[in-house]
Amino acid sequence: MSKLAIDREDTVLVAIDFQEKLLPGVYGRDKLEESMSRLIRGCRVLGVPVLVTQQYTKGLGPTTEKIAKALTEEIPGAVHEASFAAIEKTAFSAMREPSFVKALLETGRRTVVIAGAETHICVQQTALDLIEDGYMVFGAMDCMSSRTLENKELGQIRMTQSGVFVTSSEAVLFDMLADSKDVNFKQISAIVK
C-alpha cells in the first residue's frame, strides 16, 4: 500500500463543530451536511472511529440533527455503535482541548481525515496543530465550509500550503476501501450515490 493512501486501520475522522447555531450561516450548508453524513456513514461501515467536537455548546448549540442522525442511526454491518459523545471545546483548535487530545490518542491512529466549520478558523487551526504533532492530515474539502465562500477557499489554501492533503468524502471512502472485492464495496457504493 502507498504511504500516501488512507489506510482505514490507521485513520480517524474528526468532525469539527457541526452545530445548530453555527451551520445556518455557513456557505452551502445543505451540501455540506449531505457530504458529511455520507462520510460518517461510510466510516462507520469501515470501522473508522469518528471524533466530534462542539465549540462552546451553550452558545452554538448541539450537533445538528442531520449529522447526529448519521452518527446514531442503525446501519447494517456498521462496526461502530450507534452513538456519539461530542467533545466540548472553547479553544479554536481541538488540539488545545485535553479531552480531545486524550480521545485522539486513545484511537491509536496517526492519520486524520478532517472536516467541519468554520474552514478558516477551527478546522484550519486543528489541522495545523495536527500536522505540527506529526499526524498525516487529509482534508475532506466537500465536508468543510465557512460563512463565506472566500473564507472557505482561503482556509483550504492555507491548509494545503501547510501540508494537508486535499481530497473529497467519496475519495476518502474509496481510498480506504481500496478494492472492489472488499466485502464493504456494495454498501459504500450505495452510501455515496
Any bridge partners for residue 113, and if so which? 13, 138
- Above 70 in pLDDT, residue 2? no
Tell me which of 7-21, 81-95, 97-111, 123-137 is least confident: 81-95
Q: 140-185 pLDDT, tens per residue?
A: 999 999 999 999 999 999 999 999 999 999 999 999 999 999 999 9
Read off the C-alpha cell for 105.
490518542
CB 32 within 8 A of CB 182: no
Length of the chain: 193
pLDDT band at 81 (very low <50, low <70, confident <90, very high): low
- Above 80 in pLDDT, residue 80? no
- Above 80 in pLDDT, residue 83? no
pLDDT band at 74 (very low <50, low <70, confident <90, very high): confident
How far is residue 140's CA from residue 13's CA, in Å, rounded to a whole number? 10
Predicted pLDDT at 160: 97
